[in-house]
Structure 1
Amino acid sequence: MIKGFKMKLYPGQEAEYERRHNEIWPEMVETIHAYGGKNYTIFLDRETGTLFGTLEIENEDLWNESANTEVVRKWWDYMADIMETNEDNSPVTTDLDMVFHLD
C-alpha cells in the first residue's frame, strides 16, 4: 500500500529540515523498516513550505503502531521546533488520496 500525505514547515526552516533528514538516526531508519515502511520519499514545495510524502507500507495497523515507539516520539520532539505539530509533537499531517499510479 502506498500512503501519500502532506505536512507544513515553519517559514525559513527548509534547509534545517533537509539537514536533519540527511542525518537521520540509524535507529529511526530501523524503526521505519521494522514497522513495514519502505520507499519513503518527502518532497518540498519551497514556495509554500509544504512537504509531500509518499511511503510504501505493509499494513496500516502495523505502521500506526510505530507512533508508540520511543524513537519515533524522540524524533517528533526533535522536529517540533521547525514544523507544525500536534500537542504530542507528532507532525500535523493530511492524508492525500491517490488518484493515479503507474508502475
Structure 2
Amino acid sequence: MGITAATHRVCFLLQLRPDRVEDYLDAHDVVWPEMLDALRAAGWRNYSLFLRPDDGLVVGYLETDDFDAARQRMAATDVNDRWQAHMAQYFQSGANPDQAMKPLAEYFHLD
C-alpha cells in the first residue's frame, strides 16, 4: 500500500532511562499479538521504532490517515492501557509513553 494524499507520516521522539535500554528491547522481543491487532485496527501503518542505544533515544515512525483519531482509538482499548502501564517503567518521564509522544514537524520529503 503506497502513501496517499490522506496519509500522514508521523515521527516522534521518546527518551528511555539509559539503565533500562536492554530491558526495553527485551520487552519488544514479543509484542503482544492483541497489541499489534489493536494498532492495526486503530489505523497505525508502517510503524517502526528506532533506538540510539548509548543514550536511550527512541525515534518512532508511522503512517496513518489521522494521527489524533488513531491515538484516540488506541487510548480506548484495554490492551493499550495494559501495555502503556507496563512500558512506563522504561521511560525517563515515568509516564505512559503514548502520552509523551509529540510529533515532530515534517518540513521535507523526497518521494
| Range class of TM-score, shorter chain | 0.7 to 0.9
Q: Greater strand percent: which structure?
A: 1
Q: Distance in 1 between matches of 2:101 and 2:66?
A: 19
- Give the paired residue count: 101
Structure 2: segments with no counterpart, 5+ residues:
1-7
Q: Distance in 1 between matches of 2:11 and 2:59?
A: 7
| Cross-structure match for 2:96 | 90
Q: Greater helix percent: which structure?
A: 2
State the percentage of identical aligned residues: 32
Check whether the contact 2:15–2:91 (CA below 8 A) recurs between aligned residues: yes
| Paired amino acid for 2:31 | I
Runs of 4 or more above 3 Å deviation = none
Quick one: which of 89, 99, 102 aligns to 2:107? 99
Structure 1: segments with no counterpart, 5+ residues:
none
Q: Distance in 2 between matches of 1:85 and 1:55?
A: 22
TM-score scaled by length of structure 2: 0.81
Going from structure 1 to structure 2, the CA distance change for 1:55 and 1:26 (only over 3 Å counts) comes to same
Quick one: which of 81, 84, 87 aligns to 1:73? 81
C-alpha root-mean-square deviation of aligned residues, in Å? Answer: 1.6
1:50 aligns with 2:46: no
